[in-house]
Amino acid sequence: MQQTKYIVIAGGVTSSLGKGIVAASLGKLLQARGLKVTVIKLDPYINVDPGTLNPYEHGEVYVTRDGAETDLDLGYYERFLNITTGKDNNATTGKVYQNVILKERRGDYLGKTVQVIPHITDEIKRRIRVFEDKGYDIVLVEIGGTVGDIESLPFIEAVRQMILELGRENVVTVLLTLIPYLHAAGELKTKPTQHSVKFLMQSGVQPDVLVCRTEKPLSDDIKRKIALATNVPLDAVIESIDVNSIYEVPLKLAEQNFDSVVLKRLGLESISRRKPQMDAWKAFLERYNHPQDEVNIALVGKYVELHDAYKSIREALVHGGVANKLKVNILWVNSEKLNTDNIHEKLSAAHGILIAPGFGSRGIEGKILALKYARENKVPLLGICFGMQMAVIEFARNVLGLKKANSTEIDPETPYPVIDLLPEQLEKELMGGTMRLGAFDIDLKPGTLIRKAFGTERISERHRHRYFFNESYGEMFQKAGMKISATDAVSGLTEAIELENHPWFVAVQFHPEYQSTVDYPHPLFKAFVREAYQRKKTKNGSKK
């Protein structure tokens, strides 16, 4: 088999340049030429995984099928490339050190002094190379952070060693930088990019390709200047200009032959001459850019100030919108600020309401109010994970009259623990750890909205929760009009509920947002957006 080739993507000047999107776009273009691509995201922070990170610090936690809590960039890769990632696709400094220290404690290093070079760098290389001989042509290696940071150094050093060991034609380095525009001077400035390249070169790595983020087009003069100063050939200085949507990025980069430049550096000349098959992508973009109408979805959550905290949900709404030829406007509703006085004002423009996942008690009363509003006003509703749990609590309190009903996560003393932990034995069997993570099979009951949305009996969806619907209340709820519409295929525990006497009120214990991609707009989001639009049409109709 041919040697797996590596494309390393690092960032310079500043963070938040969209490295994940550029890398995923490159992956898409390579895939479109028939190559098999996967990705590794290396994060320089010391947390062992992002599971415990506050979403305000780092955006959402992305959960893979095999139950790893990972960086949100993996979401871009899955959504763009329609691939499944897992535990091996993300590693942090913390995880690298944890492994090395474990080995040291086990005596694996036979009394040697354990050092950053070679032990940490060996572990990094081992992680980068886990996909070798697994049938991949290309592994994209995205290094988080910014070159020049202390934390990034061991990763860059590992890359330097890989270039030495595997040869330049097997490891290509792409540096994403910023060319800032100084309004006062009316000029684009290349100096920060020159400095970033110097940083990288001090570590012994010469970038092969530069991708320059810019708000104004780069003239040939500027490109020549950058090329000369950084030792990068002119054709490998690629402009990445601000665009309206991330879905434009692959095509914009392709216009400048980004992918063929990279392929040539990798010695894959013949593939660089193949025509990429981007028709499906272009069709998606066409629909995205020319929606037939719009629809408003209220997203009710406690992290609404930082939109990255709900990244996958936002993207799944885009996919669901495009599938219905609709533009979805998200109305961000902070659940902590929602109360009986402002609820109408905050939600009356929404044609659909989405209740976000979450942990802890902050903002839950707002979520419950929004659920009551959706139930009573017959607004299409999608509840996700905590959103489903809150829907159960709202129903218990306001329909069943169990006034102090709650989740034991919020109130351990509640007289009506409608959401609760599992009995210890079952918890052990089902979860292993403290959280139920990753994909499990789910059975959908006939004649339900969820079954109709999926059009199939059994699905497999990802999870990230610890609390469950308390089955001892099952009958009571069902009699009063809240149906259990889906159950875990093994344990029979509740996975989804829906309301009778409501056009579309579906709440699920799993996270559909993680599995929505450009090629596979998720069925629940598709159905939800469709129903929200129905609501809009009937509402407009009734006004006439």
| Of the residues 386, 440, 469, 528, which one makes contact with ligand GLN according to CB under 6 A | 386
Annotated catalytic residue: which of 78, 142, 394, 513?
513
What is the DSSP annotation of 156-208? HHHHHHHHHHH-TTTEEEEEEEE--EETTTTEE--HHHHHHHHHHHHTT---S
Task: Please tell me whether residue 466 binds ligand GLN under the rule CB under 6 A.
Answer: yes
CA distance 230 to 223: 10
| Of the residues 47, 359, 430, 489, which one makes contact with ligand GLN according to CB under 6 A | 359
183 is catalytic: no
- Among 261-269, 281-289, 316-324, 384-392, the segment contacting ligand GLN (CB under 6 A): 384-392
Instruction: List all residues 6 or more positions away from 196 whose beta carbon is below 8 Å from its beta carbon.
Output: 12, 13, 146, 147, 148, 175, 177
Annotated catalytic residue: which of 385, 461, 502, 522?
385
State the nearest-atom distance from the C-beta of 355 to ligand GLN, in Å: 10
Nearer CB in complex with ligand GLN: 222/422:
422
CA distance 37 to 25: 12
CA distance 300 to 342: 14
Task: Please tell me whether residue 351 binds ligand GLN under the rule CB under 6 A.
Answer: no
Nearer CB in complex with ligand GLN: 486/518:
486
354 touches 325 (CB < 8 A) = no
* Residue 515 DSSP label: G
CA distance 18 to 158: 23
State the nearest-atom distance from the C-beta of 297 to ligand GLN, in Å: 18
Task: Please tell me whether residue 409 binds ligand GLN under the rule CB under 6 A.
Answer: yes
| Of the residues 276, 321, 352, 358, which one makes contact with ligand GLN according to CB under 6 A | 358
**Cβ atoms < 10 Å from Cβ of 481:** 13
498 in helix, strand or coil? strand
Q: Among all chains, which residue has been given the structure tokens 């992290």?
A: 303
Task: Please tell me whether residue 357 binds ligand GLN under the rule CB under 6 A.
Answer: yes
212 is catalytic: no
- Among 89-97, 208-216, 236-244, 461-469, the segment contacting ligand GLN (CB under 6 A): 461-469
Task: Please tell me whether residue 411 binds ligand GLN under the rule CB under 6 A.
Answer: no
Helix/strand/coil (H/E/C) assignment for every residue in 239-259: EEECCCCHHHHHHHHHHCCHH
Task: Please tell me whether residue 301 binds ligand GLN under the rule CB under 6 A.
Answer: no
Instruction: List all residues 6 or more positions away from 236 whose beta carbon is below 8 Å from its beta carbon.
Output: 208, 209, 210, 227, 261, 265
Annotated catalytic residue: which of 351, 511, 522, 531?
511
Task: Please tell me whether residue 467 binds ligand GLN under the rule CB under 6 A.
Answer: yes
Task: Please tell me whether residue 417 binds ligand GLN under the rule CB under 6 A.
Answer: no
Residues in the chain: 544
State the nearest-atom distance from the C-beta of 427 to ligand GLN, in Å: 12
385 is catalytic: yes
Nearer CB in complex with ligand GLN: 451/464:
464
The residue ranges of DSSP E strands in 235-319, in sequence order, are 237-241, 293-301
Nearer CB in complex with ligand GLN: 131/386:
386
In the complex, the residues that contact ligand GLN under the rule CB under 6 A are: 357-359, 385-386, 389, 409, 464-467
Q: Which residues are catalytic?
A: 385, 511, 513
